[in-house]
Amino acid sequence: MSETKQVAQLGMIGLGRMGANMVRRLMADGHTCVAYDVNEDPIAELEGEGAVGARSLKELVSKLEAPRSIWIMVPAAYVGGTLEQLVPLLDEDDTIIDGGNSWYHLDVDRSTELADKNIHYVDVGTSGGILGLERGYCLMIGGDDTAVGRLQSVFDTLAPGVEGAKRTPGRTGEIAPEERGWLHCGPSGAGHFVKMVHNGIEYGLMAAYAEGINVLAKANIGKIDHAVDAETAPLDAAEYYQYDIDIPKVTEVWRRGSVITSWLLDLTAEAYQIDGELSAYSGHVSDSGEGRWTINAAIDEGVPVPVLSAALYQRFSSRGRSDVADKVLSAMRAGFGGHKESKESTR
């Protein structure tokens, strides 16, 4: 955790999968946290671990010393409503931090509105998931220098620290914030913009692993009997697809020395170790918006992102959103060639 001796007081709104563990990580490094959630149980639990509990936003604000720093860790859809209730309770020079996955356009607009009230607004793209308590959180930050500087000790504690990775060859001298795991990316919106692209890349990486593993899983297709008719493409090289690949073992060996080693691969191997068929999952893959926003930004910039786009569209397909398109394809084939649908499955 942090090497600094400076401690801070922070209010946390939202004690879900990440917010509660962020409070725990901060308290373990000596910071004081005032914790609020719409549900009682997480407040009481954190009170038992040393946090100061608050049962309302008004109480949260009253228990913080000015200038206050209040971190909002709720789903993006709830940030606006939270701000409507919180802002009237604040004083000039207080700081609001949005640590969720808000759209960066909203950060720009919100910071402008709050600047008129002399309230600082900091957007923090936060990556680390449910394992951040132990691993730390990669933080991508947007906002003014005053507010970000005031929060440096908080960022130092939440971030993984220099031990999170070996120092990049060529870097010398004093350890920079980005080497600790946090970066002031620029003015309002910059933090969430960088996190947005980060998540777009995440979509692409996840899709690459998933598609490659699917190819391995179907490497025994030559052993399967196939219909012989006008509607089924023949498998001309069955002898080359006679492999029963042990996917859990492959993901495990890839973790050691492979150029595609990553935390995502680690998580994949763990999932296969628990359930070699991944039978607990339906394959319905959600998206929380960042992939869409990344593609929108790429369009505005005139930047090609074919891999990231394909990864997002695959998520749509996983949720059955290609149903009409698939039916239209079948209808057109039937119309021009009299082709009947084949119900063959090679799963």
Q: What positions carry a catalytic annotation?
A: 195, 202
Kindly write down the DSSP assignment for every residue of 29-41, as one continuous string. TT-EEEEE-SSHH
Region of 67 on the Ramachandran plot (φ > 0 left; ψ -120 to 50 alpha; else beta): beta
Beta-carbon-side half-sphere exposure of residue 235 (alpha carbons within 13 Å): 17
Matching residue, tokens 């196939």: 226
Helix, strand or coil, per DSSP, at residue 15: coil
Name the burial class of residue 173, with classes exposed (0-12), middle (13-18) and buried (19+) by CB atoms within 10 angstroms of its CB: exposed
Answer whether 298's CB lies under 8 Å from 305's CB: yes
Q: How many residues are recorded in the chain? A: 347
**Tokens in use for 49?**
């671990």
Answer whether 141's CB lies under 8 Å from 191's CB: yes
**Which residues, in sequence order, are bridge partners of residue 33?**
10
Q: What is the DSSP letter of 167?
A: P
Closest C-alpha among 112, 107, 96 to residue 64: 96
